[in-house]
Structure formats: structure tokens, C-alpha cells
């Protein structure tokens, strides 16, 4: 969706984000990986700014990337935009071969359609809804195991270096602690290769390390949000 609101002037890139958002943090990683200068404007999702509402009127969600006077919304659409618009600057996130591109898009779409929905049942259910949480945990672990099987023995989903699926998935890693605390399980015990991959992404890629929040801060944020919504 392209709004008509100007960002902070010129052709500069402005990212509307919230520091815990896995979706927004995908964009952070992609921008840093390309070395593109940008300004981040943190958004309060409990009291949405006029800029957020006007630049993403359909969903009123982060992330939004403001590009000159236009807005690009939806995190995977923004990743593709960065590849399309800045193809001259550094390696693209998506591979060049059509089949390989499809493969990457398929798995990023898998993450979006499966992971957040299962995860939300784990961390966003009202206190006492133990059966819902248990079912959510079971489904979430199945999703993580499917992703781990797709990773296989490769260091990254894309092969030897960070790529599109890695960038789509790794911003969920700081949420693992929250999933574990509410779901009563261990990602590292269930999916050791996936846990090792997440650590590798941050250890070997500054763009990842610089973009992700501390797991404990995510947990504190979630606890605060649960209180606000009367879930505890």
C-alpha cells in the first residue's frame, strides 16, 4: 500500500517499527545487511500515531517503510522491495534462479501462515486456558520441527550464507524464551539444530546481532502487554 504521506523529506528511508516486532525486525536486518542508511521511528502500538495510520491505513500495523513520499507495507513485501529497488547494492536476499526463488518464498510464506498463529495461542491465551496453550505448544513445536527439517544440515536456510528465509525467521528467535516460559518446553531440546542456527545467525551476521532485542526484554514486554489486556 502506498500512502501519500511524506516521510522526513527527500528520498530517505524511514522505518516505522516496534522493537519486539519480528516483522519489523526483518526489515531492520535487510536494511543493515545492504548498508542502507535509514531512520527508525519507534511506534507505540497501544496508541497508534497519525503517521502509522495514514501510511498503512488498511492494516495499521508495523512495519512500514517510507520511501520518499510513499509507503511500503507488509514485511515480506518490504524485503522484496529492498531487493528490487537496491539491486545494485550488495547481494540480493533472494537467489537468482526462479526455482530457488520460489523455494525461498514458499518457506517464508510458511513461516507467516503458521508460526505467529500457533505462537499466539501459547503466549497470548488468558491465564487458565491450559488446554489452548498445550494445543498451541504442540502445533508450534511441529512448525519448528518442520522448519528444522527444511534447514537440514545446512548452516543457513539459503545454504552457506544468510538469505531470505533466514531473515524472515530469525526475528522470531528472541521470542523463543517467551514461548518456552508460557508453553513449558525448550526449543533447544526439541529443535537443537534450529536453536544452533539462530545462534549462528546472530554470531556470524552483524546485521542480525544489531537488529534483535534481548529475549528477556521481549518477555518483559509480553508480560506488560498481558497485564494491559487483562490476561493474567
Q: Return residues touching its own copies (CB under 8 A).
A: 1-2, 58, 67, 70, 72-74, 76-78, 80-81, 84-85, 98-99, 101-103, 105-107, 109-110, 146
The residue (of 148 and 180) whose beta carbon lies closer to its own copies is 148
- Count the neighbouring beta carbons within 10 Å of the beta carbon of residue 116: 15
Of how many residues is the chain composed? Answer: 232
Phi, psi for residue 80 in degrees, rounded to 5? -65, -40
By C-beta, is 146 or 220 nearer to its own copies? 146
Q: For its own copies, which is the closer residue by CB, 46 or 58?
A: 58
Alpha-carbon gap, residue 31 to 232, rounded angstroms:
37
Q: Report yes or no: 205 and 162 within 8 Å, Cβ to Cβ.
A: yes
17 phi/psi in degrees, rounded to 5: -150, 165
What's the closest the beta carbon of residue 72 comes to its own copies, in angstroms?
5
Shortest reach from residue 114's CB to its own copies, in Å: 9
Shortest spacing between CB 183 and its own copies, in angstroms: 22
Q: How far is the CB of 12 from its own copies (least distance, A)?
A: 15
For 9, the 3-state DSSP assignment is coil
Preceding amide of 63 cis, omega within 30: yes
Nearer to its own copies, 18 or 67 (CB): 67
Helix ranges (DSSP H) in the chain: 22-34, 50-55, 75-85, 98-123, 130-151, 164-169, 176-183, 187-190, 192-204, 206-209, 215-228
Shortest gap between Cβ of 80 and its own copies (angstroms)?
A: 6
Nearer to its own copies, 41 or 146 (CB): 146
Question: Which residue from 14, 139, 137 is spatially nearest to 69, judged by alpha carbons?
Answer: 14
What is the smallest separation between the CB atom of 1 and its own copies, expressed in angstroms?
Answer: 5
Choose between 33 and 103: whose C-beta lies nearer to its own copies. Answer: 103
Amino acid at each position: 500500500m502506498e500512502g501519500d504521506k511524506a516521510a522526513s523529506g527527500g528520498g530517505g528511508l524511514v522505518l516505522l517499527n516496534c522493537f519486539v516486532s519480528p516483522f519489523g525486525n526483518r526489515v531492520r536486518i535487510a536494511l543493515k545487511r545492504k548498508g542502507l542508511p535509514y531512520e527508525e521511528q519507534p511506534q507505540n502500538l497501544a496508541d497508534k500515531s497519525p503517521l502509522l495510520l495514514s501510511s498503512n491505513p488498511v492494516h495499521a500495523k508495523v512495519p512500514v517503510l517510507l520511501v520518499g513520499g510513499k509507503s511500503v507495507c507488509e514485511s515480506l513485501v518490504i524485503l522484496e522491495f529492498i531487493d528490487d529497488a537496491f539491486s545494485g547494492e550488495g547481494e540480493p536476499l533472494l537467489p537468482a534462479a526462479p526455482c530457488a526463488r520460489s523455494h525461498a518464498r514458499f518457506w517464508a510464506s510458511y513461516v507467516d501462515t503458521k508460526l505467529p498463529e500457533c505462537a499466539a495461542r501459547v503466549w497470548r491465551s488468558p491465564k487458565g486456558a491450559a488446554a489452548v496453550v498445550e494445543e498451541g505448544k504442540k502445533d508450534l513445536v511441529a512448525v519448528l520441527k518442520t522448519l528444522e527439517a527444511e534447514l537440514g544440515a545446512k548452516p543457513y536456510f539459503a545454504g552457506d550464507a544468510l538469505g531470505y528465509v533466514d531473515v524472515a525467521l530469525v526475528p522470531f528467535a528472541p521470542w523463543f524464551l517467551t514461548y518456552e516460559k508460557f508453553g513449558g518446553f525448550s526449543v533447544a531440546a526439541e529443535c537443537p539444530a534450529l536453536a544452533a542456527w539462530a545462534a549462528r545467525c546472530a554470531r556470524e551476521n552483524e546485521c542480525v546481532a544489531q537488529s534483535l532485542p534481548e529475549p528477556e526484554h521481549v518477555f518483559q514486554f509480553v508480560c506488560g502487554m498481558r497485564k494491559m489486556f487483562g490476561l493474567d
